[in-house]
Structure 1
Amino acid sequence: MRRFATLDVFTERRLAGNPLAVVLDAEGLDAAAMQAIAREFNLSETVFVLPPAEARHRAHLRIFTPARELPFAGHPTVGTAVLLALQDPALGDARAFGLEEAVGVVPCVVETLPDGAGGRARFKLPALPEYLGPGPEPEAVAALVGLAPGDIGHARHRPSRHGVGPRFTCVPVASVERLDAARPAAAPEAGDGLYLYAPDPERMGRSWQVRMFAPRLGVPEDPATGSAAAAFAGVLMQFEALGDGVHDVAIRQGLAMGRPSEIALQLTVEAGALRSVEIGGAAVLVSEGTLRA
């Protein structure tokens, strides 16, 4: 018997944001068993918590979609960090620890709610987003998602590819109306998620609405994608005039699915170069149980 919990991540209320399953006590499970369990949960990601390789870290995580293992993902990191903090109430309502993932050690800061129902977590990327080259031509990507070529592009933004572990084809869309009209599709590059974004007219500052499609990973559309938000930091560095300093970016996702989520992205720029990226959000506990595996 293995304990598990489900959480809704990048939201402060249940039945919104991105659902996550976390299997505690995952020792003894091999990759094939983890993949089978992830298919059974059939959520965008399932996390398996293992003892850390180094005692100074909180845990070692393995992350699976219904189709394959990921080296890193944002909503599993936020949700698992909150859950692990809730498991240790005697340590107080705020703490910091490292989570070991395939991409590296991810430093997390967590604040839990007094009622034990959830909390907020923020983590620093262990690696900066990598530019992987230009994206497809507007005509090609428009045909994929059922839009017109004129719907693709915003100001200086053009399709591009970026990644931090998982890779994404990032596509600017002219308006949130056209973003909502897009149909889910696979990215032209076989290993990429397809990340569409448009300026958010309802928010002040650097605010965006986004959608992410990854049918090859078993995720037709994702309500919230932290790893894509990490890649989006590279997009902003490429196309926005970001001066030195700290830049806070608000991202809303999942609106077209009826599962609204909010992701906080923070970029630190020094001497014209991206120095660090942090991602944060809330998570709420939905259920707890035991798994026969």
Structure 2
Amino acid sequence: MSETIDVDVVRVFTDETGDFGNELGVIESTGSSLGREQEIANTLGFSETVFVDGIDDELFTARIRIFTPLKELPFAGHPSVGTAWLIARQGIQLWALREKAGEVMVDFEGDITWITARSEWGPDFHWIPLDSPGEVDALDPADFTEGQHFAYAWIDEGAGWLRARMFAPEMGIAEDQATGAAAASITSYLKRHLTILQGEGSVLFTNLVSHDLVRVGGHTVYDRRVRLELQ
């Protein structure tokens, strides 16, 4: 007997007009999804899928789990930003997300949703500094067959503008369109606030709070609802 679950799809780290961004599937955990999270994430094929396990209205927190097509992550940036935005859009006050890595603080400034997390919570990335944005654009995802790689070049070093792309075959992601965890890590690594143009046109903002505490923010838009049939 088959069952159907609803998946809200948002795009995280869009540009100011709501274009581009990284798709994220968000699912309210139910008896149908429990224990099948990895299977569901693999079927959906988004770079990450979030399962909201519960919302505490008194503590203004939500418990979430994050899955790539191949593995569960203790923390990830674009799922945190997108889920926080979606919960707030439903009129629920939210101060923090409880993830496997720890508590991720949430705040909102106008149309931008911000999270604050430790850069060490993200995966280990192989940094690939290049001389120009054109060299970043010329990279072929097929050349990356293992690990997690973040390639970047300055668009305007004085202004803190980076051009970047991220390839993570280890997670089952040929190329990620916007990677909040990598944005936090590169901010800590470079020791400065950044604006990152990633993938086809995603935009991420970062603030360095301390040597390993980073605030990551961006625009999110609602895209669509998907109904997934489970066998």
Question: Normalization by structure 2: what TM-score?
Answer: 0.87
CA positional deviation for 1:196: 0.4
Give the Cα–Cα distance (whole angstroms) in 2 for the partners of residues 275 and 15 of structure 1. Answer: 31
For the aligned residue pairs, the C-alpha RMSD in angstroms reads 2.4
Aligned position for 2:138: 181
Equivalent in 33, 39, 48 of residue 29 of structure 1: 33
Q: Percent identity?
A: 35
Cross-structure match for 2:23? 19
**1:96 Cα deviation from its structure 2 partner:** 4.3
CA separation in 2, counterparts of 1:27 and 1:170?
41
Are 1:248 and 2:206 matched, yes or no?
no
Instruction: List alignment gaps of at least 5 residues for structure 1.
Output: 113-118, 130-163, 238-246
| Counterpart residue type for residue 120 of structure 1 | I
Alignment of 1:140-179 (within 5 A): 164-179=121-136
Separation of aligned partners in 2, 1:200 and 1:102 = 35
Distance change (3 Å), C-alpha of 1:235 and 1:111: closer
Alignment of 1:116-127 (within 5 A): 119-125=111-117, 127=118
Match of 1:108 in 2: 106
Distance between the aligned counterparts of 1:36 and 1:178, measured in 2?
A: 36
**Counterpart-to-counterpart distance in 2, 1:14 and 1:27:** 34
Question: Who is 1:137 aligned against?
Answer: none
Structure with the greater relative contact order (CA < 8 A, sep ≥ 6): 1 or 2? 2
SS of the residue corresponding to residue 83 of structure 1 reads helix
User: Deviations for 1:230-272, whole angstroms, at most 9, x for unmatched residues?
Assistant: 11023203xxxxxxxxx531001013xxxx1000010135xxx
For the residues of structure 2 that align with 1:48 and 1:221, how far apart are their CA atoms? 22
Provide the secondary structure at the position in 1 that maps to 2:215.
strand
* 1:213–1:286 distance in 2 versus 1, CA, 3 Å: same
Q: State the secondary structure of the residue aligned to 1:35.
A: helix
- Structure 2, unaligned runs of 5 or more: none
Q: Work out which of the two has the higher radius of gyration on C-alpha atoms and give 1 or 2.
A: 1
How far off its partner does 1:30 sit?
3.5
Q: Which amino acid aligns with 2:96?
A: G
Distance 1:219 1:276 in 2: 26
Q: Is the CA contact 1:81–1:110 (under 8 Å) kept in the aligned structure 2?
A: no
Amino acid across the alignment from 1:228: A
In 1, distance between residues paired with 2:119 and 2:122?
10
Aligned equivalent of 2:83, options 76, 80, 83: 80
Cα separation, 1, equivalents of 2:204 and 2:47: 17
Query: For 1:39, which of 20, 38, 42 is the aligned residue?
Result: 42
Whether 2:151 is the aligned partner of 1:196: answer yes
Structure richer in strand, relative to its length: 2
For 1:250 and 1:16, the matched residues in 2 are separated by 16
Q: 1:28 to 1:53 in 2, by over 3 A?
A: farther
Could you tell me whether the CA contact under 8 Å between 2:188 and 2:212 is conserved in 1? Answer: no
**Distance in 2 separating the partners of 1:287 and 1:35:** 21
Counterpart amino acid of residue 136 in structure 2:
L
Q: What TM-score, normalized to structure 1?
A: 0.70
